[in-house]
Copies of this chain bind each other. A is one copy, B any other.
Amino acid sequence: MADKNIPYKIYLEESEMPQYWYNVRADMKNKPAPLLNPGTRQPMKPEELSGVFCDELIRQELDNDTREYPIPQAIRDFYKMYRPSPLVRAYCLEEKLQTPAKIYYKFEGNNTSGSHKLNSAIAQAYYAKKQGLRGVTTETGAGQWGTALSMACSYFGLDCKVFMVKVSYEQKPFRREVMRTYGASVTPSPSETTEVGRKILAAHPGTTGSLGCAISEAVEVATSTPGYRYVLGSVLNQVLLHQSVIGMETKLALDKYGVKPDIVIGCAGGGSNLGGLISPFMGEKLRGEADYRIIAVEPASCPSFTRGVYAYDFCDTGMVCPLAKMYTLGSGFIPAPNHAGGLRYHGMSPILSHLYADGYMEAVSVPQTKVFEAAEQFARVEGILPAPESSHAIRVAIDEALRCRETGEEKTIVFGLTGTGYFDMVAYEKFHDGTMDDYVPTDEELAKYRAALPRI
């Protein structure tokens, strides 16, 4: 059944691995809107950010012009521990679906963080170390980012303080234990250890926490502890820059075999994987060199692209972080407790938001039972147990492949398989037991949070 020339898995040689990150902003005619100071509502200056972020990361965050960032040797060495990641030709899935479509997926789960998050974690830890810092703070929801950062900090001998959304902390004790294995300290959020945490607990006793709230706590600790900075695993421009390594490898692997995708699909929470995966393809599209359909897939229970608004909003619940212009559901929005996977952030990467607003990409939202159906179908034929997040992309890839079966078109579909679901078995269990439902926010609910958006 296999195409003669294309193996099941395409691995680049070490010597073929990307030597630079690609900054898609350099090819955007309309640049993403700047971050605003939450107090003055004026564009953030580097010096205003320097208490929060590492200096080099601020430079990367604000740099809309440099196209290529050489990847430092120490990071390239670390990448060699788990990269290049395989680009897999989904021969077995194609056969199962009886589709003429050719399906590829870039699998980022073959490392202990279980996802692509490590690509940016190691970069951020490297720059923190280089600046002579003692440690970093962060938040984590599902736990992939926290795990990745713990691994990266352990490698460079940095202290790592993770605020983990309380509901995840309780439901995923094993994630916490992996972080401990890498020497990180993990605090359930909201906690009594920060001022903002105590405030949130006083206002909402018994709250199980949210990403926005854990961010506020992590930022407070970073800015009030000498030698610490805050790091973030998604949304930010710098993260998309680091994650471009996914797309670069994907494109190099496809080019090796003369394959040109018609459709590129990725799941979208804050945009870290999608933004990285599509970068070089989007670059060609922006430069008018090629055209691709690019599809962002989000959960119907947290639909920032498809039901949010494009506006300035706070990145965190405590409103201590800069304002970003992005597709957002409002910083008070938290997905309903029935929502199983990650992808639960209220906003979306400013870069992706801008590209979406300018019509360079599409977005669809999918209900979670359909996502888990796709996950199980995929696991059974491709042998990988996918993360719920990744399974959003699988769902739409399968849908597109089935459409090809109807039309007879031999489209080439590439999607991002961000990670594995080993720590998500409670969600799989609900799916098997039939206790998972597809509740989505009502228009009234969304209107409430929208009304609370800052007026800028």
Contact = CB atoms under 8 A, between A and B. Distances in A.
Interface of A: 2, 7-9, 11, 13-14, 77-78, 80-82, 92, 110-112, 114, 118, 151, 154-155, 173-174, 177-178, 180-183, 376, 379-385, 420, 422-423, 425-426, 428-429, 432
- A-B interface, 6 closest residue pairs, ranked by CB to CB distance from nearest: A174-B425, A8-B80, A177-B425, A422-B422, A7-B14, A112-B385
Contacts of A7: 13-14, 80
Contacts of A154: 380
Nearest to A110: B110
A177 B180 CA distance: 25
A380 B81 contact: no
A362 to B, nearest CB: 30
Contact of A14 (B8, B180, B379, B423): B8
Contacts of A80: 7-9
Contacts of A112: 379, 383-385, 420
Contact of A111 (B11, B181, B383, B426): B383
Contacts of A429: 173, 177, 180
Most buried by B among A182, A379, A425: A425
Given A111-B383, A181-B428, A422-B422, 13 more contacts: A7-B14, A11-B11, A81-B92, A112-B384, A114-B422, A173-B429, A174-B425, A174-B426, A177-B425, A178-B422, A178-B425, A178-B428, A180-B428
Contacts of A425: 173-174, 177-178
A81 B90 CA distance: 9
A55 to B, nearest CB: 27
Contacts of A14: 7-9
A177 B383 contact: no
A383 B82 contact: yes
Nearest to A175: B425
A89 to B, nearest CB: 10
Nearest to A429: B177
A99 to B, nearest CB: 18
A442 to B, nearest CB: 32
B380 A155 contact: yes
Contacts of A111: 383-384
Nearest to A92: B81
Contact of A155 (B13, B173, B183, B381): B381
Given A80-B7, A80-B8, A432 B180 contact: yes
A80 B91 CA distance: 10
Contact of A81 (B82, B382, B385, B423): B382
A317 to B, nearest CB: 30
A426 B384 CA distance: 23
19 contacts: A7-B13, A8-B80, A81-B92, A114-B422, A151-B383, A155-B380, A173-B425, A173-B429, A174-B426, A178-B428, A180-B428, A180-B429, A180-B432, A181-B376, A181-B379, A181-B432, A182-B379, A422-B422, A422-B423
A386 to B, nearest CB: 9
A9 B7 CA distance: 18
Nearest to A151: B383
B383 A432 contact: no
Nearest to A384: B112
Contacts of A151: 380, 383
A56 B381 CA distance: 25
A234 B420 CA distance: 26
A307 B349 CA distance: 60
B182 A380 contact: yes
Most buried by B among A78, A181, A379, A432: A181
Contacts of A77: 2
B432 A385 contact: no
